[in-house]
Amino acid sequence: MLFNVPGSIAYSDHQTAVRPSLWKYRYILILLSLLGILTCYQLAVVLLLRKTIVLPASSFQGSKIVNPYQNWNGEGQEKISLHTHSNEVWFTPERHTVKEIQSEYKREGFSNLAITDYGQVSETDNPDYIRGMEWGQNLKKRHLLAIGIKKSFYDYFPVYASRENLNWVMDRMKKLGGYVIVSHPKLFDSFSREELMAIDGFQAVEVYSPFGDDPKILDSLLSQGRNIHCMASDDLHYFPENSIKSFDQPFWKDLIQTLGNQRSRKGESFLRYIVTEEGKKDQASVIASLHSGSFYCVKKFFQGADDPKVPKIFVTKENTIQVNSKERYLEIRFIGQKGEVLQVNPDTNRAEYRFQDKDSYVRLEMIALTGSILSNAIYRSN
C-alpha cells in the first residue's frame, strides 16, 4: 500500500493541472450553445411570424378624382414633428428629456410632436401628446414608426427579418392603432426602392430625412396604385449646442454626449416636419389627417429660416387642379406617373393643371425661397 501512495499523489497533481484547460473548453461550449439557441430562435420566428400580401396589379383608375386637401380650411398652419427620441429608454439615458424636447419644439413654433423611442411608448402629462414608437434594433437599421399606437410590443427580429416578417410587423402595428411609416430608407440602404415595392403595410415613407432625401421613392409606389404618403422628420437624437447649453443636465450626461461626439454639432432639429390644417394639432386630429393624407411635408433649407407657407389645393368639377398660396414660389411642379414632370410654373403663387386621361395621379412640389414642400397624391378612384 505504501508503494501506491506516490502514484496516487502524482495522478492528483496531473488532474489539477488539466482542470483550467477543461474550463476553457466549457466556456467555448457555453458560448456555442447560446449562439445555437439564438440561431434556432431567429429561424423559428422568421418561419412562423410571416404575412403574405397581394399588391395592386395596376395604377389608380376611375373617373372620380380624390383630393385629400379639398376641405382644407383656415389660413394658418400647424407644424408637427413625428420622429424624436428621448432619454426614457434604458439604453439612451444621455439623451434629452421629454419636457426639454417639448419645450424646444414649442419655442420653434411647433404645435405638437410625438416621442418615438425604440420599443416603447413614452408617456407625458400633456393630454394632446401624440403617442408613438419606433420598431427595429437590427444591424441593417430597418426601422418602422407607429404613430398613435396604443401599446408597444416585443421585437422578435433582433438580427434578421424577411419581407414576410416585415409585413407581419406592420400588420401588428396597424392592429394596435398605429399609422405606419418607413423610417430613413436611405440609411445604410435599409429599404431599397425595390424592397419597398415588394412589401406592404406601411402608409408613409420618410422621403425627407437627415439620412437622405428622396421624394422620387413616392413615384415608384404611387405608380403601383398604392396611396403611400410622404413623410418629413427630424429623427431627433440630440439638439444643437446652443440648445443643450440651456438645459440643466448632470455632468455625466454632458460627458457622455461629449465622448459620443454629439456636442458642438449643428444638429438637424426643426428642419423637417409635416404641416396639418389650421386647428388640427391634437392627437386625434393629427392621426385623422395622417390617414386621409391631408398634410404637407416640409424641408427647410437652413436653421432660423422663415417657415415656407403651404398652399391650398382644390380640384374643380372639370378635374382641374388649382393651387393658391400666400407665398410666391420659385417653382410649382406637377408630377405624375413614374415621376414624369407634367408641368412647371415658375415664380408664382398660383397654378392650374387639368387631369389628362393618361394621368392616374398627380402630386405637387413647391420650391420656396426658404424650403421645399411636398403634397400627397391627388389620384383617380372608382
Residue 240 or residue 125, greater confidence: 240
Number of residues that this document lists for the chain? 382
- What's the pLDDT score for residue 11? 46
Alpha-carbon span 99 to 206, nearest angstrom: 25
The CA-based dihedral angle spanning residues 298, 313, 325, 109, taken in that order and rounded to the nearest 10 degrees: -40
Residue pair 184/141 in contact (Cβ under 8 Å)? The answer is yes
Confidence of residue 250 (pLDDT cuts 50, 70, 90): very high
Out of 111-115, 119-123, 184-188, 278-282, pick the least confident. Answer: 119-123
Alpha-carbon span 65 to 357, nearest angstrom: 12
Share of the chain above pLDDT 90, in %: 71
List own/partner pairs for 240-247 with CB under 8 A and 24 or more apart.
Answer: 240/265, 240/266, 240/267, 240/269, 240/303, 241/265, 241/267, 243/104, 243/267, 243/269, 244/96, 247/96, 247/100
- What's the pLDDT score for residue 19? 60
For residue 31, what are the contacts with CB-CB under 8 A and spacing of at least 6? none
For residues 224-230, average pLDDT: 97
- In 233-305, at which residue ranges do the beta strands (DSSP E only) sit? 272-277, 295-300
Strand partners, 205: 182, 230
In the predicted structure, residue 264 carries a pLDDT above the cut 70 = no
The whole-model pTM stands at: 0.90
For residues 326-340, average pLDDT: 97
For residue 244, what are the contacts with CB-CB under 8 A and spacing of at least 6? 96, 238, 257, 263
For residue 47, what are the contacts with CB-CB under 8 A and spacing of at least 6? none
- What's the pLDDT score for residue 10? 47
- What's the pLDDT score for residue 232? 98
Cell of residue 41, nine digits:
430562435
In the predicted structure, residue 56 carries a pLDDT above the cut 80 = yes
Total Cβ atoms within 10 A of residue 5 = 9
Residue 329 or residue 74, greater confidence: 329
Q: Which residue in this structure is represented by grid cell 449643428?
A: 266
- What's the pLDDT score for residue 229? 98
- What's the pLDDT score for residue 21? 62
For residues 187-214, average pLDDT: 95
Alpha-carbon span 26 to 34, nearest angstrom: 12
Q: Which residue in this structure is represented by grid cell 402629462?
A: 125
For residues 259-269, average pLDDT: 76
For residues 70-85, average pLDDT: 94
Residue pair 143/185 in contact (Cβ under 8 Å)? The answer is no
Alpha-carbon span 212 to 364, nearest angstrom: 20
Residue 315 or residue 154, greater confidence: 315
For residues 269-279, average pLDDT: 96
Four-residue CA torsion sign, 270, 123, 262, 137: negative
In the predicted structure, residue 94 carries a pLDDT above the cut 60 = yes
For residue 134, what are the contacts with CB-CB under 8 A and spacing of at least 6? 83, 85, 116, 117, 118, 119, 143, 144, 145, 146, 183
Angle at CA of residue 120, ends 116 and 126, nearest 5°? 60
- What's the pLDDT score for residue 2? 42
Looking at domain 64-381, its CATH superfamily turns out to be Metal-dependent hydrolases (3.20.20.140)
- What's the pLDDT score for residue 160? 85
Domain boundaries, the chain: 64-381
